[in-house]
Structure 1
Amino acid sequence: MEITTQPEDLIHQIDSWKEEVNEVREEVQLMRERLEQIALSVAPEEVMKSVEHFENRLLRQREVADEMFHDIKQFAKSQSDHPQTVIHDDRPVCDYETLQRRMEIFQKLFIELKEDFNHFMMNEV
């Protein structure tokens, strides 16, 4: 089964991905600020271990967000240099499907991180 994506739809998708990655960056920054408040407090050692664990996860999430944003920009640039209709089928066509799969994984992992973080904040602090 083939699905054809017109250049205008592709531009909209790219812009949507960029916006979502920026929103993740902002949320990660807010989570890091909340952790910093806990780190500056007098908290039990177990809580501090969890704070360090989440600091590491948030740092990595930010790195992945930066990589995704860069790759999305590079893909957008390649499309603007050579605008074309992208055809999707069962095999990868261009880098669109790869980028789309990476974005889906990025979204899934961030949702899991956010749920874990919120659980920690509600139960441990």
Structure 2
Amino acid sequence: MEITTPTEELHQQLNSWKEEVNEVRNEVKMMRERLEQIALSKASRDVMTQVEHFENRLLREREVADEMHHDIKQCAKRVANTPVTVVHDDRPIDDFQTIQHRMEIFRKLYLSLKEEFNQFIPCEV
């Protein structure tokens, strides 16, 4: 089935994803700052092991967020270079469906990390 999607709708979706990725970047920054506070405290060895675990995961999360942000921007450029309306079979452009799928995975993995981090924080001392 062919669906016609105005380019403006695609841009709105892409901008929404960029905002979401930026929000994740900000939250990761705050989590890393919290880990620094814990690392400077006289926490137990077990807690410090967890701090290192989260430092590594947050570092990787930041890298993935940076990659997503870059790829979303590239997708937006491609959309901008297309005609006003894009005709597709559930795929407005070659990369849009891929970006959409990656955003779903990005959200899922980040929410899992955030939940695990929030469970760790109350009992870090």
The alignment's TM-score, normalised by the length of structure 1, stands at 0.91
Counterpart secondary structure, 2:42: coil
Structure 1 unmatched runs, 5+ = none
Counterpart check, 1:85 vs 2:86: yes
Query: What is the rounded CA distance, in whole Å, between the counterparts of 1:95 and 1:67 in structure 2?
Result: 14
Deviation at 1:94, TM superposition (A): 1.2
Partner amino acid, structure 1, of 2:71: D
8 Å CA contact 1:28–1:58 kept in 2: the answer is: yes
Per mean C-alpha deviation after superposition, the further-off stretch among 111-120 and 74-83 is: 74-83
Counterpart secondary structure, 1:42: coil
Query: What is the rounded CA distance, in whole Å, between the counterparts of 2:4 and 2:113 in structure 1?
Result: 34
Partner amino acid, structure 2, of 1:10: L
**What is the percent sequence identity of the aligned residues?**
65
The 5 Å alignment of 1:56-95 reads 56-83=56-83, 84-89=85-90, 94-95=94-95
Q: What are the Cα deviations for residues 83-114 of structure 1, in whole angstroms up to 9, with x where unaligned?
A: 3415243x795111100000000011000000
Indicate the RMSD between aligned Cα atoms, in angstroms. 1.7
Counterpart check, 1:18 vs 2:26: no
Find the counterpart in structure 2 of residue 29 from structure 1: 29
8 Å CA contact 1:88–1:97 kept in 2: the answer is: no
Q: What are the Cα deviations for residues 31-54 of structure 1, in whole angstroms up to 9, with x where unaligned?
A: 000000000010000000000000
Counterpart secondary structure, 1:85: strand
The number of residues matched between the two structures is 124
